[in-house]
Amino acid sequence: MVNFRVGPGGLVAGELTVPGDKSISHRALMLGGIARGVTDITGFLAGEDCLATLRALQSLGVRIERPEEQHVIVHGVGPRGLHGASTPLDMGNAGTAMRLSMGLLAPQSFNSTLIGDESLMRRPMERVAAPLRQMGAEIGTQNGRPPVEIRGNRQMHGIDYELPVASAQVKSAVLLAGLQAAGITRVTEPAPTRDHTERMLRAFGAKVGQQGATASIEGGQTLTGTDIAVPADFSSAAFFLVAGCLAAQKPLLLRNVGINPTRTGLLELLLQMGADIKVHAHPNAADAEPIADLEIRRSGLRGIQVSEHLVPLSIDEFPVFFIAAACAEGETLVRGAEELRVKETDRLAAMADGLTALGVENHLYPDGLWIRGGTGFNGGTIDSRGDHRIAMAFAVASLRSRGEIEILDVANVATSFPGFVEIARAAGLKIETA
Ligand code: S3P
C-alpha cells in the first residue's frame, strides 16, 4: 500500500501550475472521438481517470496519438464510426468516464459492458440509466451499480428531463445521448452544475440551447474536431488555495487555473471566511473556459454557515474545505451535501473520522458536517479509504498540525493529480511517499 508521511508545520510560497482539468480532459477525448476530423488537446490531464477514458475510446476504434504526456491528438471517427469493444470497458476509479460513456454508448449499434475498480463498482448508476431508458435505451445494472450492460439502440428519442439531483455527470450523459437521438432533448437542473459539456459541444460546432435552468440539444448534429487547450484544474488548485490561506507568508501564485463559475464555489466560501485571494483573470473569448492566475496570502479564517446553493459549485472541494474549516476560528456548518456520500468514497464519513483522529471536534449529519475550528491538528494516522481528495486534503492539514500525519492508501492520488507530491514539496509541504 502506498502511504504519505507529512511533517508538521511549514510555509508555502512560490509559483506553481497544477495539472489539467479532469472534467474537461474526459469531455475533450469523448467529443473528439465522435467528431469528424482531428482534435488536438493540449494541457491534457495525464491522470489515471482520463487515461481510462482514452483507453476505452481506443478499444472502441478511435485512433489516438500522444506525442507528449499532456498533448493528445484524437482522430475522430464521426457520429457513426465507433465499433463495439471485444472486452468490457474498464473505467478504473472514474465516475465521469463511466457515466458519460453510458450516454455516449447507449445510442450506438453495438453492445457495451462498463466495469471499474472496487470503489466505482459500488457507485450508483441508475441516476443515469433511468433517463436514458426513457429515451429508449436498453441498460442493465446490478442493483443500481456496475457492471453496466448496454444493448445499443440507434432508435433513441429526445425527452424533457428534470434532474432529481444536481449532477453534471447525469446532465452530460443525457445531452450526449440527446446528440445522437431523434428530436430535441431538454435537461433541467435543480441547481447550476458544471457546464463544461455544453461549452465544449459548442466548441465542436454543435448548437446547444440554454434557457434558465434548461439545456437543450437537437439530435443528429455532427461535431467537427477542434483544438482544446485544457486549463489547470480548479479542483487540484483547491488544495493549494487552502494551503496558501493557512501558510503563505509570502504570496503563492497558481497559474492558468480554470475559473468557470460553475466550479469556483470554494473561492466564494474561502472569501466569506476572510481569505486573501486575488483573481487575475486572463482575457478570454465569451464561450471559452475562463482562466486566471490566483494569488493567495495567509490570513485568519472565520467559520461560516455554507449556503446550500454553493454545494454543487464546490462539490469536489469539500474535503479540503473541511480542513480550512478546522483551522478557522469558530464553527462551520455544511448541510444539503448528501451527494458527498456517493463520491469515490463516503466523503462526509471519511472526513469526520479523519478530523476526529486528529483531535478536531465535529458532528456528522446525514447530509453534512459541523466542525469546531481553531484548535489545529494533532499528529496521527488517516485512512484515505483510497480516495484521492481525502488523501490530499489531509496532506494540507499538516501545515497546521503539531505532529506528523500519516495518510494511508494514497495510490489513487494519481487518478486526478499526477505529480502531487513533487508540486506539494516545491510549494513547501514536508511530504514523502512511504
Ligand atoms: C463531474 C461531476 C461531479 C464531480 C465529478 C466530476 C463531471 O459529479 O463530483 O468529480 O466531470 O461532470 P456529479 O455529477 O456526480 O455531481
Residue with cell 464555489: 265
DSSP one-letter code for 310: G
pLDDT-derived band at 286 (thresholds 50, 70, 90) equals confident
Q: Is 344 a pocket residue for ligand 1 (Cβ < 6 Å)?
A: no
Q: Is 395 a pocket residue for ligand 1 (Cβ < 6 Å)?
A: no
- pLDDT at residue 73, as a whole number: 99
- pLDDT at residue 287, as a whole number: 81
- pLDDT at residue 285, as a whole number: 81
Is residue 39 within 8 A of residue 73, CB to CB? The reply is yes
Is residue 146 within 8 A of residue 114, CB to CB? The reply is yes
Minimum CA distance residue for ligand 1 atom 5: 96
Q: For a ligand 1 pocket test, name from 198, 315, 415 the mutation site with the most ligand atoms within 8 angstroms of its C-beta.
A: 315
Q: Is 416 a pocket residue for ligand 1 (Cβ < 6 Å)?
A: no
Q: Is 315 a pocket residue for ligand 1 (Cβ < 6 Å)?
A: yes
Q: What phi and psi values does residue 210 have, to the nearest 5 degrees?
A: -145, 115
- pLDDT at residue 233, as a whole number: 99
Is residue 316 among the annotated active site residues?
yes
Between 124-133, 280-289, 408-417, the lowest mean confidence (pLDDT) is in 280-289
- pLDDT at residue 284, as a whole number: 86
How far is residue 6's CA from residue 296's CA, in Å, rounded to a whole number? 22
Give strand pairing partners of 408: 383
Set 316, 383, 387, 409: catalytic member? 316
pTM for the structure as a whole: 0.98
Q: Is 168 a pocket residue for ligand 1 (Cβ < 6 Å)?
A: yes
Sheet holding 63-68, edge to edge: 63-68, 71-77, 36-42, 227-229
**Nine cell digits for residue 196:** 463544461
What average pLDDT does this structure show over 175-180? 98
Is residue 278 within 8 A of residue 311, CB to CB? The reply is no
Helices within 233-287 (DSSP H only): 234-247, 265-272
Q: Is 174 a pocket residue for ligand 1 (Cβ < 6 Å)?
A: no
Compute the 3-state secondary structure of the chain and give helix, strand, coil in percent, each to the nearest 5. Answer: 35, 30, 40
Is residue 281 within 8 A of residue 261, CB to CB? The reply is no
CA dihedral (56, 58, 61, 63) in degrees, to 10, reads 150
Higher pLDDT, 213 or 287: 213
How far is residue 427's CA from residue 275's CA, in Å, rounded to a whole number? 18
Residues in the chain, overall count = 434
3-state DSSP assignment of residue 149: strand
pLDDT-derived band at 56 (thresholds 50, 70, 90) equals very high
**Nine cell digits for residue 378:** 494533532
pLDDT-derived band at 178 (thresholds 50, 70, 90) equals very high
Minimum CA distance residue for ligand 1 atom 16: 167
Distance 22 CA to ligand 1 centre (A): 10
3-state DSSP assignment of residue 297: strand
Query: Tell me: the pLDDT tens digits for 208-225?
Result: 999 999 999 999 999 999
How far is residue 30's CA from residue 102's CA, in Å, rounded to a whole number? 12
**Nine cell digits for residue 293:** 492566475
3-state DSSP assignment of residue 396: helix
What average pLDDT does this structure show over 331-343? 98
Q: Is 323 a pocket residue for ligand 1 (Cβ < 6 Å)?
A: no
How far is residue 316's CA from residue 237's CA, in Å, rounded to a whole number? 12
Distance 403 CA to ligand 1 centre (A): 34
Percent residues over pLDDT 90 in the chain: 99
Separation in Å, CA 302 to CA 93, 275, 282, 328, 373? 35, 9, 30, 5, 8
pLDDT of 314 above 90:
yes
What average pLDDT does this structure show over 20-32? 98
Is residue 37 within 8 A of residue 246, CB to CB? The reply is no
Minimum CA distance residue for ligand 1 atom 13: 167
pLDDT of 71 above 90:
yes
Q: For a ligand 1 pocket test, name from 21, 23, 175, 417 the mutation site with the most ligand atoms within 8 angstroms of its C-beta.
A: 23
How far is residue 175's CA from residue 193's CA, in Å, rounded to a whole number? 14
CA dihedral (376, 377, 383, 387) in degrees, to 10, reads 30
- Mean confidence (pLDDT) of the chain: 98
| Nearest atom of ligand 1 to the alpha carbon of 316 | 9
